[in-house]
Homo-oligomer: A and B are copies of this chain.
């Protein structure tokens, strides 16, 4: 609650500055669309597949972009985080929902940041009623089918925005990230090693590598808020070159 009041105070102060024209921010006049959090893929009415993304990094990026004057839309998977001041939030559950919400909000965006940990696969069939185990059933199979690739879909659009992806890996982090950059046809990829306990999914901190076609930049361990500020500054400078 105290944190929220401090945020409100600063965003109010910031709005005053903006109105006074003192500082319009690095992303003034730009429109930014982000995704954050995990997705949940229903198996039946009570069971689902998901992942450990907390949404904190995506929400920090949305806050940082708004602070720099951008018009920010945040498509969020299931996570109980407070919407940053000045950010328009669209809540979704599954990867298909997220894909639809992104496509519906894509027109006129300058920057797309795909920070959500989107499930690569979803159950092929969603049972309408809770699946009952049979009395002597000791094993079970779930058949999965590929979800739409949101980042690649956005990057392939005509007049696509500047596209930033994330790669959360547990091994060969930089190599996998470079491959993803090329395959998806995006401008920048932010890679992190989620196998380290002190950074990544459920931590307040992060440490990332930003990789573009021409450069690699390391951001050492810091709060997600600070990493978000650094990444928004990087994105705004890449956007201008």
Contacts and interface: CB of A to CB of B under 8 A. Distances in A.
Interface stretch (A12-20, A41-49, A95-103, A215-223): A41-49
Nearest to A146: B138
A117 B48 CA distance: 13
Contacts of A146: 133, 137-140
Given A138-B146, A140-B146, 18 more contacts: A43-B49, A45-B170, A45-B195, A46-B51, A46-B52, A46-B170, A46-B194, A46-B201, A47-B50, A48-B51, A120-B133, A129-B171, A130-B169, A132-B176, A135-B183, A138-B145, A140-B144, A142-B142
Contact of A47 (B51, B135, B195): B51
Contacts of A124: 139
A183 B183 CA distance: 53
Nearest to A124: B139
Contact of A144 (B48, B52, B120, B142): B142
Interface in A156-214: 168-171, 176, 183, 194-195, 201
Interface residues of A, number: 42
Interface string A44-80: 1111111111000000000000000000000000001
Copies of chain A in the complex = 2
Contacts of A10: none
Nearest to A171: B129
A170 B130 contact: yes
Contacts of A49: 43, 47-49
Nearest to A123: B142
Contacts of A170: 44-46, 129-130
A82 interface: no
Contacts of A43: 49
A80 to B, nearest CB: 7
Interface in A94-149: 117, 119-121, 124, 129-130, 132-133, 135, 137-146
A7 B16 CA distance: 41
Across chains A and B, which 6 residue pairs bring their CB atoms closest together, nearest first?
Answer: A140-B144, A130-B170, A142-B142, A46-B51, A129-B170, A47-B51
